Amino acid sequence: MTRIPGRALTVPPTLADVAERAGVSRQTVSNAVNNPELLRADTLVRVQEAIEELGYSPNRAARNLRTRSSHLIGLRMSPVQEFTANAAADRFVHSLVDTSREAGYQVLLFSGDATDPESGYDDLLRSTAVDAFVVTDTYLGNPQAAWLRERRAPFVAFGRPWDDPSATHPWVDVDGAAGAELATRHLLDKGHTRIAWIGWRKDSFIGEDRRSGWSRTLKERGLPTTGLASRVEDTVNSGREASAVLLDEALPTAFVCASDTLAMGVMHTLAERGMHAGEDVAVVGFDDSQTAQVMHPGLTSVRQPLEDVAIEVVSALEGLLAHPRRIAEGKLLTPTLAVRRSS
């Protein structure tokens, strides 16, 4: 925006201003912006110069009104979890923002109270404030998915529709079983044969999925799983208590945990007993949190490819918005293992 003396900078130039300056009609300016190939080369140059000189950007509200699309993606933030090592959601938001931008979209954040999963979505949808949603909190089924589908709202889920295999919306997820398998195989390679599992309550689909990767890997090798598994809440203290019991009763030499939070609980138990992770007992967590990265001695952890998840989510979103009736697809990505000194 060049500084025009006397005119407030707070009133940005419009299409008409550019048209006047370039000596063309408003429509031609619009075409220069949206369909430059329609203009003769010299006209295009003249218009672009005027745009540059005035610092013109199309008014978003006017464009949104006319095109009935906002190029905004709605994302509901799940509440902050303190006293856990879970930061996957935040890492994902970063990736999503970056990827969306490349696709010409921006992310509108909103929050809703935890008790009402639909709150927030409804208003945004009816006011056509966003073109689509990205739904992330699908840990225990996802009521929003059914709700959004019913309203024909375009959305992509990060997380499988566990509770409804017939669901027809696009989704992207990370193969938790493969992650746990990766972790378990890594420990097998290190010579461990008694490998314990500390996971979440049985009603957690994600927890059971991850657990299955551990159990199937041990069973494949004919190794025991009985008495070596524990299902608890996702807190440090639960992990601490569960690992203490397991150490006493099942004598494992390694732990695979459904989260870094639980793995930190194991670390507490080890420290309390004067044992050292990576020397006396191996520990592997899940999510590659900042804590896993900075703690002593470094926690081996399954890392979700959240950057790739974001790419797939945005790609699905583009498909969805371009072809609303297209059949939905699911995409399952494979995690990696960040090996550190705890194993």
Q: According to CB under 8 A, which residues from 12 to 41 bind a copy of itself?
A: 12
Q: According to CB under 7 A, which residues from 67 to 106 bind DNA?
A: 67-68
Residue type, 184: T
Tokens of 94: 């970063």
Q: Which partner in DNA, a copy of itself, none is near 38 (CB below 5 to 8 A by kind)?
A: DNA
- 28 sits near DNA (criterion: CB under 7 A): yes
In the chain, the N- to C-terminal Cα span, in Å, equals: 57
Residue 151 beta carbon to DNA: minimum distance, rounded to whole angstroms: 17
Of the candidate residues 24, 124, 135, 267, the single one contacting DNA (CB under 7 A): 24
Residue 337 pairs in a beta bridge with 302
Q: Give the nearer residue to a copy of itself in terms of CB position, either 58 or 143.
A: 58
Size of the site for DNA (CB under 7 A): 29
Question: Strand 254-257 to strand 229-232: parallel, antiparallel, or no bridges (unpaired)?
Answer: unpaired
Exposed, middle or buried by CB within 10 Å (0-12, 13-18, 19+), for 71?
A: middle
Exposed, middle or buried by CB within 10 Å (0-12, 13-18, 19+), for 199?
A: buried
Angle at 116 between CA 94 and CA 288, to 5 degrees: 30
CA distance 184 to 343: 11
Q: Mark residues 249-278: x for contact with a copy of itself by CB under 8 A, - for none.
A: ------------x--x--xx--xx------
- 304 sits near a copy of itself (criterion: CB under 8 A): no
Q: Give the nearer residue to a copy of itself in terms of CB position, either 39 or 299.
A: 299
Q: Which partner in DNA, a copy of itself, none is near 91 (CB below 5 to 8 A by kind)?
A: a copy of itself
CA distance 166 to 169: 9
- 321 sits near DNA (criterion: CB under 7 A): no
- 3 sits near DNA (criterion: CB under 7 A): no
CA distance 246 to 228: 7
Tokens of 98: 């970056």
Of the candidate residues 33, 103, 110, 164, the single one contacting a copy of itself (CB under 8 A): 110
CA distance 175 to 90: 19
Exposed, middle or buried by CB within 10 Å (0-12, 13-18, 19+), for 180?
A: buried
The residues of the shown chain that bind DNA, judged by CB under 7 A, are 11, 14-16, 23-28, 30-31, 33-34, 38-40, 42-44, 56, 58-59, 62-63, 65-68
The residues of the shown chain that bind a copy of itself, judged by CB under 8 A, are 1, 8-10, 12, 55-62, 64-65, 68, 70, 72, 77, 79-80, 82-87, 90-91, 93-94, 97-98, 101, 106-111, 123, 126-129, 151-152, 236, 261, 264, 267-268, 271-272, 289-291, 293-297
